Structure 1
């Protein structure tokens, strides 16, 4: 019995320490978010001009918000930048939309690249390759179609490109949208994702999501350009890893990325989270153990057993207090990320928060159960290390 008792003590101590560590992450995110985010950058005349930025915009299809999202790039307050629209299919309806914006803003330097170039399995890299090759500025920005910019967002990002920084990215967040799906997205990006993102940036760990990113083009060219990352589906993670491996820092800017896709549905959002989980497991295998333990309901239940075993505390009372405090800190963090009042009520937050917390572990199990990734019309299988191979549909004879 003694060896088993020692093992139980060991597990209990480990889970209790891990639980304490999660509260440290909460506190780091709250204080760092308050200090880091939503700082107003004022554009002053300087002797050294601001560096030019080449903005790659990979597009596929049109949603109800696309025109407004793209227009926000034509109206940015930044001295020198170019817009490089990359579209895979020559009959894509986004082409006409971009041409309308070019006619509306003729003074903005913009070009359209159609057809892409196959340099790997990643369709986004393939789509952007012609635009990247034509980019003429020292900074390169990759921005997803669903991102909406403020006038000073680009200035804010370049402001954070210090001499020792190779990559600046925006912390993912969500625009105000109606419906339960919009509430769910905002809760996820303003709590779970924000907590990890802020804590990772504070300690200098790679937690890069490349929906809105600026990089030093020379550093990407050193390793062969963006086509060198075409073998990965999560090219954003490996962009950042390439920088940190060579001693460069990565940093978030003070403005979160405003995701504003016109398609907002619970099923599509959960499919997106499941795909991200599959990528994390392939790239960082210890995610299999630590990610489920990071969930509120899971770590709370295990920690309740641990404190009951170690300190003879009531596990049910401990579990309920754990959930309540976690919930309150998430509400405070969301308010910090939002920089004001959220667009939904407290009851909506309670329902959305509980739904997210209970569904999160289930989505992770689903990701482990089926590692194949569906991305638009294509199917991929991931190998350890994040390298992907495209699965071609079987031809019936």
Structure 2
């Protein structure tokens, strides 16, 4: 008996099963969800790092003022006094005089992570124990804080949400949504369902008191990415990272191909640096390895060629079902973008291994070096 076709068949079946089981678990998480009782109305500080005039920035920042929660403050953090987003932030604060909102300007060089440097002043100025680090491009729903606090328990260290790409304009933006939604968000929901969640920096809720016991905000500089550091802290302290019931949206607008690729490559390098074993397995998660194995078996007359297009249709039908269940954007352009994503993913994965640095908001960084805390540097505040 030729053992090679058996081994190839077993590998292909395992990869196909991984696709359908992961989608099934993400769907099951949604169907089995039970809403928890609301937590008490403790005050919450939302820190919004802002850098430049991103797509839909007015819309996303304005949504932060419409949160349905009795007691919260907004702290907008901008690193440079010349940032073009400053007039917009000031305008929004002035147009919402009842809001407890502030703008802080200055850059504290505490790490090589520009986002962490930017929010440092906001963390020190926060007046509540509950702190949400919320990226400026997140579209905040009215129940934002309630959705986050719903997941908190004594066993939790971080509550987070992956971004769901919405309002994509053009194929490049649809490709970014293809990476974000039925791929990256799916795997984060599955990890949460299996009680092995990991943080995503778009939205992270932390307890200042608990983080101070672990070393304070500066401990998040122990990794290049603050969400990777938060994940490792949680696991080291025996606590968990939890994900909200339904991920929050990030309206994408129009993207260029270079913007999409550089962003996905940066994230790939960060994952490879912080979690190399998990990153190694990413090469097996798209349809391309399955299609290659199927073609090998077809040339060996083990499988019929007609089965390949049927497999491809079933593969992406699972992602369609996932998008429908979670009410994520869907359409022909997005489905084409899923296929393009799976074609490009091996190249992205390989470049993530080979490339050793990237530029983030004008900062040259390396994904292999850990951040070093520089104490005693204080930014200006206005």
TM-score by length of 1: 0.85
Which of 26, 30, 35 matches 1:33?
30
**Coordinate RMSD, CA, aligned:** 2.7
| Pair 307,293 (structure 1): closer, same or farther in 2 beyond 3 Å | farther
| Pair 288,259 (structure 1): closer, same or farther in 2 beyond 3 Å | closer
Structure 1 stretches of 5 or more lacking a match? 390-397
Task: Give yes or no for contact 1:142–1:214 (8 Å, CA) kept in 2.
Answer: yes
Task: Give yes or no for contact 2:148–2:205 (8 Å, CA) kept in 1.
Answer: yes
In structure 2, the residue matched to 1:327 is 316
In structure 2, the residue matched to 1:316 is 305
The answer to whether residue 20 in structure 2 is matched with residue 23 in structure 1 is yes
In structure 1, the residue matched to 2:290 is 299
Separation in 1 of the partners of 2:144 and 2:222?
Answer: 31
| Pair 289,160 (structure 1): closer, same or farther in 2 beyond 3 Å | closer
Separation in 1 of the partners of 2:151 and 2:173?
Answer: 30
Q: Deviations over 1:269-295 (max 9, x none)?
A: 121111111111111222453111111
The number of residues matched between the two structures is 372
Separation in 1 of the partners of 2:43 and 2:166?
Answer: 27
* 1:342-361 map, 5 Å: 342=329, 345-346=331-332, 348-361=333-346
Q: Deviations over 1:98-150 (max 9, x none)?
A: 11112111221122221121111111111111110111212110111111111
Q: Deviations over 1:223-278 (max 9, x none)?
A: 22222222422111211221232122221112312112555223211211111111
Q: Deviations over 1:156-181 (max 9, x none)?
A: 11122133222111232022233223
SS in 2 for 1:147: coil
SS in 1 for 2:249: strand
Separation in 2 of the partners of 1:198 and 1:318?
Answer: 30
In structure 1, the residue matched to 2:326 is 337
Separation in 2 of the partners of 1:355 and 1:159?
Answer: 36
Task: Give yes or no for contact 1:119–1:126 (8 Å, CA) kept in 2.
Answer: yes
Task: Give yes or no for contact 1:177–1:183 (8 Å, CA) kept in 2.
Answer: yes
Which of 180, 189, 209 matches 1:189?
180
TM-score by length of 2: 0.88
Which of 348, 370, 381 matches 1:387?
370
Which of 223, 229, 240 matches 1:238?
229
Which of 42, 51, 68 matches 2:42?
51
In structure 2, the residue matched to 1:364 is 349
Which of 117, 125, 128 matches 1:137?
128
Separation in 2 of the partners of 1:305 and 1:156?
Answer: 47
Offset, 1:18: 4.4
Higher RCO structure (Cα 8 Å, ≥6 apart): 2
SS in 2 for 1:92: coil
Offset, 1:83: 0.8
